[in-house]
Amino acid sequence: MYRLLIVDDEAFIANGIKSSVDWQKLGIVSVAIANNLRQAKELFDNQPVDMMICDIEMPQGSGLELYEWVKEQHPQTECIFLTCHADFHYAKKALQLGSFEYLLKPVPHDELKLVMTKLIEKIRKERESATMVTERFWQDVLSQAIPSFPDKIMEIIEKQKIPYTRSMGFLPVVISVQHWEKSLTAREAQIMEYALRNALEEVVIQRGSNAQIVRIKPDYLLIVFSEDQPSSDSCSTNRNDIRNRCRTFIEVCNQYLYCHLSCYIGKPVKAHEVRDMVDSLIAFKKNQVNIVDRVIFIDEQIKKESQIPLPPMNVWSELIKQGNKKKLLDESQQFLDSWKRIECLGAKGLQQFYQSFLQMVLHTLHQQGLRADEIFSDHLSPERVLSATRSVKDLQDWVRDVLEKALVHIQGLDSSETVVEKIKRYIALHIDQELSRQYIADYIGLSPDYIVKLFKKETGLSISDYILKERINLAKELLSMTDTTISNVALAVGFSNFSYFSTLFKKEVSVTPQDYRKGCPSK
């Protein structure tokens, strides 16, 4: 979107130019008119001007004089000169000043439209190129590819011809996208980021301001406002103005983009201090995960994180074993819903929950004989961990996914295993513990007498004989493959009495544990 200023001392000519072209179709949203140099300068002071159509011959100061002033004060503004006379001196001066075109009055509408179309395309390409260079500069500053030393930063600024000076101050504003109301594909996410950037330019930057949008990480955008020799009063006014624009931006995103976010406004700093200020803003945001759709100054007083209630992980573990999906999902979601009312909830609390919950699920599945690392390979990537602990809603989504996947595997295990296979799996998982037919029967959900008879019928062994056989086999493996003490081997296979273990081992293997280890090949 662009803004045009028409300068001509004859009002009917200026109005005629304004009405001769459908400017909106060219992307020009504002067309202002000035009839002399004083009016033109006032308009420049009140709003940004992207391009100017200016008469050269005017009684209160020529268009050439005006453009000389514009080149000094607003160097990004392009100019097209109009004149009634094909004067070589005028044309030469216009070219020296760097005007885009020099046209003779009266200008045919089609010719004016064609020239303006070419000018807009030139401005668009230059802006895109300058924006890419400046955004890359700030990304390098933030990643420390450019060291945060004043002289080094100014060296890069001058080399890349970025319009910053040593005296400038910079105000960083971090925009954190909390969540979208609709799930997005990768392609849709790119489109929505583009829409967010456009909204930022229109509502917060308001085109023409000295500001640069920078993508710093997924779901984080940064605006760097710049100002020549900022005073404390001007900084305070600018911050308040930016806060109001950010509030409007949030409303626009809520209403039209189905997006919820927050804006964190830093303090004005020098170029070499921007990285530290951005890091502080992101850290500030991470300690206030329940702040949504708000604009926050970094120096606002926010309450410290309060004590967070812990979830009943032991109860949830039993519900997983029982396969009680409805109750498990309801309880976990309701518990995390209560966290949404904790205003001072920080990312640390979410990370603690994540670790405790994951440990509980992995342990529970291990007890069931399942390889949790294989089941949840796509849920444990660093990217997924970061996204899961970004907000309570993200954590809820992750918990729901993990529980549903865990329950599917447990239910599949129950449906595919025979009773004897379940007995063997229970024995393997509890080989180092006290094992009785009553414990096994309780786990299977059948009577002790029934499982004893069934196991004997299908395997030819009693349950107690099978347990002893498995314990001795495991002991042989530990003796041959590890250097652990024989007493520790005994404990690992469920014998607290070392002498009793040695007696049973010799009875089954015909040698003592010590002699068995001596006879094994070198480990």
User: Residues near 430 by Cβ (< 8 Å), separated by ≥ 6?
Assistant: 439
Q: Report CA 416 to chain centroid distance, whole Å.
A: 41
Structure tokens at 455: 């196991």
CA-to-CA distance for 117 and 385, rounded, in angstroms?
49
Structural domain contains residue 365: yes
Question: What's the CATH number where 481 sits?
Answer: 1.10.10.60
Question: Is 35's pLDDT higher than 90?
Answer: yes
More confident residue, 299 or 134: 134
For residues 396 and 464, membership in a common domain is answered with: no
Instruction: Give residue-wise pLDDT tens across range 275-298.
Output: 999 999 998 888 788 888 999 998
- What pLDDT sits at residue 235? 66
Band (232; pLDDT cuts 50, 70, 90): low
Helix intervals (H) in 209-271: 232-252
Consecutive H or E run containing 65: helix 63-73
DSSP 23: G
- What pLDDT sits at residue 236? 67
- What pLDDT sits at residue 2? 86
Structural domain contains residue 487: yes
- What pLDDT sits at residue 375? 73
Band (260; pLDDT cuts 50, 70, 90): very high
More confident residue, 389 or 386: 389
- What pLDDT sits at residue 379? 63
Band (262; pLDDT cuts 50, 70, 90): very high
Q: Which residue has the tokens 């447990």?
A: 410
Question: Is 363's pLDDT higher than 90?
Answer: no
Instruction: Give residue-wise pLDDT tens across range 155-170.
Output: 999 999 888 888 899 9
- What pLDDT sits at residue 514? 92
Instruction: Check if the beta carbon of residue 284 is closer than 8 Å to that of residue 270.
Output: no
Provide the mean pLDDT of the chain.
86
The letter for the amino acid at 183 is S
* DSSP 3-state of 207: coil
Structural domain contains residue 260: yes
When pLDDT is averaged across residues 235-247 and rounded to a whole number, the result is: 85
Instruction: Give residue-wise pLDDT tens across range 450-496.
Output: 888 889 998 999 999 999 999 999 999 999 888 889 999 999 999 98
**101-104/78-83 β-pairing:** parallel
Instruction: Please count the CA atoms within 13 angstroms of the CA of 250 that sit on its side-chain side.
Output: 23
When pLDDT is averaged across residues 161-188 and rounded to a whole number, the result is: 88
Structural domain contains residue 282: yes
When pLDDT is averaged across residues 210-239 and rounded to a whole number, the result is: 81
Question: Is 116's pLDDT higher than 70?
Answer: yes
- What pLDDT sits at residue 267? 92
Q: Of 76, 107, 138, which residue constitutes the final position of a domain?
A: 107
When pLDDT is averaged across residues 128-146 and rounded to a whole number, the result is: 91
Q: Which of 244-248, 329-333, 435-439 shows the lowest mean pLDDT across its residues?
A: 435-439
Structural domain contains residue 181: yes
For residues 391 and 502, membership in a common domain is answered with: no
Residue 358 phi/psi, 5-degree rounding, is -65, -40
For residues 142 and 283, membership in a common domain is answered with: yes
* DSSP 3-state of 13: helix
Residue range(s) defining the domain that contains residue 467: 419-518
For residues 218 and 273, membership in a common domain is answered with: yes
For residues 158 and 271, membership in a common domain is answered with: yes
When pLDDT is averaged across residues 184-192 and rounded to a whole number, the result is: 85
Angstrom CA distances, 283 to 96, 164, 179, 288, stand at: 51, 27, 18, 9
- What pLDDT sits at residue 117? 94
For residues 181 and 292, membership in a common domain is answered with: yes
What are 80's strand-pairing partners?
A: 53, 101
Structural domain contains residue 523: no
User: Residues near 336 by Cβ (< 8 Å), separated by ≥ 6?
Assistant: 353, 392, 395, 396, 399
Instruction: Check if the beta carbon of residue 414 is closer than 8 Å to that of residue 443.
Output: no
Q: Of 405, 437, 462, which residue constitutes the final position of a domain?
A: 405
Instruction: Give residue-wise pLDDT tens across range 68-100.
Output: 999 888 888 999 988 887 666 766 777 777 888
For residues 250 and 385, membership in a common domain is answered with: no
Strands (E), 218-305: 220-227, 259-265, 295-297
Question: Is 231's pLDDT higher than 70?
Answer: no
For residues 144 and 245, membership in a common domain is answered with: yes
- What pLDDT sits at residue 56? 87
Burial 209-248 (b: 16+ CB within 10 A, else e): bbbbbbebeebbbbbbbbbeebeeeeeeebbeebeebbbe
For residues 143 and 279, membership in a common domain is answered with: yes
When pLDDT is averaged across residues 232-237 and rounded to a whole number, the result is: 64
Report how many domains make up the chain. 4
User: Residues near 379 by Cβ (< 8 Å), separated by ≥ 6?
Assistant: 398, 401, 402, 405
Structural domain contains residue 303: no
Q: Which of 221-225, 299-303, 318-322 shows the lowest mean pLDDT across its residues?
A: 299-303
Structure tokens at 15: 């109005």
Question: Is 208's pLDDT higher than 60?
Answer: no
Question: What's the CATH number where 138 sits?
Answer: 3.30.70.270
CA-to-CA distance for 163 and 74, rounded, in angstroms?
12
When pLDDT is averaged across residues 102-107 and rounded to a whole number, the result is: 86
What percentage of residues in the chain have a pLDDT greater than 70?
Answer: 91
Q: Which of 53-57, 104-108, 321-325, 455-459 shows the lowest mean pLDDT across its residues?
A: 321-325
The letter for the amino acid at 19 is S
CA-to-CA distance for 98 and 79, rounded, in angstroms?
8
For residues 365 and 236, membership in a common domain is answered with: no
For residues 102 and 146, membership in a common domain is answered with: no
- What pLDDT sits at residue 209? 63
Structural domain contains residue 85: yes
Q: Which residue has the tokens 């927050």?
A: 262
Length of the chain (residues): 523
When pLDDT is averaged across residues 36-41 and rounded to a whole number, the result is: 93
For residues 285 and 318, membership in a common domain is answered with: no
Question: Is 406's pLDDT higher than 90?
Answer: no
Q: Of 370, 405, 440, which residue constitutes the final position of a domain?
A: 405
Band (304; pLDDT cuts 50, 70, 90): low
